[in-house]
Amino acid sequence: MIQATTKLRVRYSETDQMGFVYYGNYAQYLEIGRVEALKTVGVSYRKLEEDGYGLPVKEMNIEYIRAALYDDELIISTTIHKKPSARVFFEYEIHRGEELLIKATTTLFFMDRSKRACRPPADFMKRMEAYFN
Amino acid sequence: MIQATTKLRVRYSETDQMGFVYYGNYAQYLEIGRVEALKTVGVSYRKLEEDGYGLPVKEMNIEYIRAALYDDELIISTTIHKKPSARVFFEYEIHRGEELLIKATTTLFFMDRSKRACRPPADFMKRMEAYFN
Amino acid sequence: MIQATTKLRVRYSETDQMGFVYYGNYAQYLEIGRVEALKTVGVSYRKLEEDGYGLPVKEMNIEYIRAALYDDELIISTTIHKKPSARVFFEYEIHRGEELLIKATTTLFFMDRSKRACRPPADFMKRMEAYFN
Amino acid sequence: MIQATTKLRVRYSETDQMGFVYYGNYAQYLEIGRVEALKTVGVSYRKLEEDGYGLPVKEMNIEYIRAALYDDELIISTTIHKKPSARVFFEYEIHRGEELLIKATTTLFFMDRSKRACRPPADFMKRMEAYFN
């Protein structure tokens, strides 16, 4: 299992006229969460792309429990429960202090330079071994 | 049943460095789709807000089948299959020509001026009668 | 001189909690305006990029006169007064009906595949001849 | 004079298909810079809004010197050189390490609950005295 926590502060640009964070902007927060989760196990997403790989999203599910507000400090918890293969499955929770605001999941897959689905890079899989065996 | 179709062109700002529409930006397209669907049955979301109501999103699920590209013309089809009550359930498909790019669903609920869940406005429900009886 | 007019409707995602269009989002509207202006004279920005060119922004100035609101229909007027060379200078006005909301200018320059400043493509310059001689 | 420095990391969502940060997204960075600058002198923008004030942007000028890239760590330096009155004038520089990427200025003005220009709150002006006398 891989787990990581990262914090961010809601920007004014992320609110809408309802006074809440616009519902589509949480996708950015999830992405920050998973990039951080990969960083903590030594995988740089920037480096993955430089090596010719991409990790596009195949599926996203978000449950909105409470709204985040401007200037809130959010805590994004990201978990990989299942050993990644060609697909990587992330689970997320976003809290403001003790309050749960968001529950979400995303499924990503590896893509090569020709923009076709592919196997994960060997180095990536090797790093995963340490966390799932 | 309520069904509506609307078109839009992908903006440069909506792409990311993978060369695709950023996965979080489809939430904006879904919103445009449902606002248009409501407009076609005589409901203005702008007017709903002026009357003190809001329609925040409770849940969103998106399946990414093919990526949209810069300058693509997208066709957003929005359907309400089930008669709305305090919750409104939308289904969406986004096509580029004949190609299906996205399948999605969202659940929304009515919120009053005090930002609490509430019953839908009477006028809204009256309009719905015509489409679901 | 090249001049073009295009319309768009303000999206909910483009508002902020002040109830106005977020000040940074007008950059997107300007971009839509200049892409349309180029289209009207037979230049496709999509094609320019496919041919290995880019047109990054060197400078932007925006004067905010009145705020745009959710669901407003905006009219973007874009003008190229001066014959483009390595740099292309655009002027914009955004109206809501008769009301002037925004005045803006941007300077763009041609960039080649190696991401360095370059001369404009010959085909582009040829098209410009027709409008500035 | 008031001066403050804040750091942020470029998000994937902020890039465009040119591989750079989208030119419109720097407006968000400037806003983060000025909110931090106000915080360092004891002014909370969140509190200002709760008290019924707003600080919309009247004018923005951005000079794009070098492009920011995904995952870059940016340093935003914000300066108020002139004592604020009904208008507040900010100057900004954005660096990546030693490299200057962006120079910008914005002019903001105070707005009251009725969304009309107004004098700054007394408490705000009192705090400013300490920095400009």
**A7-25 pLDDT tens trace:** 999 999 999 999 999 999 9
**A24-44 pLDDT tens trace:** 999 999 999 999 999 999 999
Q: So what's the pLDDT on residue D121?
A: 95
C11 min Cα distance to partner chain A (Å): 10
B54 min Cα distance to partner chain C (Å): 12
Quick one: average pLDDT of D36-61? 96
SS3 D109: strand
Q: So what's the pLDDT on residue B40?
A: 94
Q: Are B20 and B69 in contact (CB under 8 A)?
A: yes
| A48 beta partners | none
Is pLDDT of D133 > 80?
Answer: no
DSSP 8-state assignment for residue D59 = E
Quick one: average pLDDT of B72-79? 98
B60 min Cα distance to partner chain A (Å): 5
Q: So what's the pLDDT on residue B120?
A: 96
Q: Are D79 and C45 in contact (CB under 8 A)?
A: no
**A79-104 pLDDT tens trace:** 999 999 999 999 999 999 999 999 99
Instruction: State the CATH number of the domain containing residue C23.
Output: 3.10.129.10
Measured between CB atoms, does B24 come within 8 Å of chain C?
Answer: no
Dihedral angle computed from the Cα positions of residues C80, C85, C87 and C88, in that order, rounded to the nearest 10 degrees: 20
SS3 B125: helix
In this structure, the strands spanning D73-80 and D87-96 are antiparallel
Q: What percent of chain B has pLDDT over 70?
A: 100
Quick one: average pLDDT of B75-85? 96
Sign of the dihedral defined by the CA atoms of residues C27, C30, C36, C37, in that order: negative
**D72-95 pLDDT tens trace:** 999 999 999 999 999 999 999 999
| pLDDT band, residue B133 (cuts 50/70/90) | confident
Does residue A11 fall inside a structural domain? yes
Q: Where are the alpha helices (DSSP H) in chain C?
A: 26-40, 45-50, 122-132
Does residue A8 fall inside a structural domain? yes
Domain span holding position D109: 2-132
ipTM exceeds 0.90: yes
Please give the Cα distance from D6 to B2 (Å, whole number).
49
Q: So what's the pLDDT on residue C31?
A: 98
Q: So what's the pLDDT on residue B44?
A: 96
Please give the Cα distance from B38 to B49 (Å, whole number).
13
A133 min Cα distance to partner chain D (Å): 30
Nearest to B11 by CA among B23, B24, B25: B25
Measured between CB atoms, does D71 come within 8 Å of chain B?
Answer: no
Measured between CB atoms, does C116 come within 8 Å of chain A?
Answer: no
Please give the Cα distance from C102 to C125 (Å, whole number).
29
Q: How many CB atoms lie within 10 A of CB A97?
A: 8
Measured between CB atoms, does A70 come within 8 Å of chain D?
Answer: yes
Residue ranges of chain C with per-residue pLDDT less than 70: none
Number of domains in chain C: 1
Q: So what's the pLDDT on residue A9?
A: 97
* B9, B12, B22, B48, best to mutate vs chain C, most C CBs in 10 Å: B12
C11:B27 CB<8 A: no
Q: Nearest-CA residue of chain A relative to B29?
A: A24
Q: So what's the pLDDT on residue C133?
A: 75
Q: What percent of chain A has pLDDT over 90?
A: 98
Q: Are D45 and D38 in contact (CB under 8 A)?
A: yes
DSSP 8-state assignment for residue B70 = T
Q: Nearest-CA residue of chain D relative to C64?
A: D58
**A118-133 pLDDT tens trace:** 999 999 999 999 899 7
Q: So what's the pLDDT on residue B13?
A: 97
Q: What percent of chain A has pLDDT over 70?
A: 100
Measured between CB atoms, does B32 come within 8 Å of chain C?
Answer: yes
Quick one: average pLDDT of B75-94? 97
